Amino acid sequence: MKRNMHLLGIGALIAGVLALGGCAQMPKHDTQVLASAIKQEYLAQGRWDAFNRDQLNQLIAQYGKDSPNYNPLKRPYIVTDFDNTSVFLDIEEATLIYQLQQLAFAVTPEQLNTIIRKGISTQNFVVDYNNSQGQAVNIDKIAPDIVQSYAWLYTHYSGLKGNQSLAQIKTSPHYQNFISKMRYLYAAIGDTFDHDVSYPWVTYLFAGMTEAEVRDLVQKTVAWQKSQPIGPVKWTSPSNLKGQAGVVSVTWENGLRPYAEMQDLFQAFQNNGIDVYVCSASYIDVIKEIISNPNVGFNIPDSHAYAMELERDSQGRILPEFRKGYDQTQGKGKTRTIEKFLVSKYGYGPLFIAGDSEGDQNMMQDFTDTKKVLIVNRLRKPTTDIGKFSALAVQSYGQSNPKFLLQGRDANTGQFTGSINSISYGSSTPKALKSQ
Predicted confidence (pLDDT) per residue in 310-326, tens digit: 999 999 999 999 999 99
Whether CATH 1.10.645.10 fits 91-254? no
| Three-state secondary structure call for residue 280 | strand
To 10 degrees, the CA torsion angle through 13, 16, 19, 21? 80
Q: Tens digits of per-residue pLDDT, 357-398?
A: 999 999 999 999 999 999 999 999 999 999 999 999 999 999
pLDDT for 15 beyond 50: no
Q: In this predicted model, which residue has the larger pLDDT, 137 or 32?
A: 137
The confidence score (pLDDT) of residue 29 equals: 56
Query: Quick one: average pLDDT of 210-223?
Result: 98
pLDDT score recorded for residue 27:
59
CB of 100 closer than 8 Å to CB of 252: no
Mean pLDDT rounded to a whole number for the chain: 93
Percent of the chain with pLDDT over 90: 90
152 pLDDT above the threshold of 50: yes
* Residue bearing the bigger pLDDT, 36 or 101: 101
Region 106-113: mean pLDDT is 98
Sequence ranges of the chain with CATH classification 1.20.1440.320: 91-254
As a CATH number, domain 10-88+257-416 is 3.40.50.1000
SS3 (DSSP) at 202:
helix
pTM: 0.92
Q: Answer whether residue 4 shows pLDDT above 60.
A: no
pLDDT band at 1 (very low <50, low <70, confident <90, very high): low
Average pLDDT over residues 51-71: 98
Chain-centroid distance, C-alpha 195: 13
Residue 344 contacts residue 355 (beta carbons within 8 Å): no
Q: Are 329 and 337 in contact (CB under 8 A)?
A: yes
Rounded Cα gap, residues 419 and 413, in angstroms: 15
Give 88's strand partners. Answer: 257
Per-residue pLDDT reduced to its tens digit, 122-139? 999 999 999 999 999 999
> Which own/partner contact pairs does 425-434 have at CB distance under 8 Å and 24+ positions apart?
425/230, 425/231, 425/232, 425/253, 431/379, 432/377, 432/390, 432/394, 432/406, 432/408, 433/379, 433/382, 433/387, 433/390, 433/391, 433/394, 434/379, 434/380, 434/381, 434/382, 434/387
Average of per-residue pLDDT across 299-315? 98
Parts of the chain belonging to CATH 3.40.50.1000: 10-88+257-416
Query: Running DSSP on this structure, what letter comes out for residue 107?
Result: S
* Residue 31: how many other CB atoms lie within 10 Å: 7
User: Does residue 181 register a pLDDT over 50?
Assistant: yes
Q: Say which range, 1-15, 29-43, 129-143, 339-353, has the weakest mean pLDDT.
A: 1-15
Q: Contact at 8 Å (CB) between 209 and 312? A: no
Q: In this model, does residue 5 exceed pLDDT 70?
A: no
C-alpha dist (Å) from residue 289 to 97, 285, 305: 17, 6, 10
User: In which band, very low, low, confident or very high, does the pLDDT at 35 lie, cut at 50, 70 and 90?
Assistant: very low
Output the pLDDT for position 25. 61
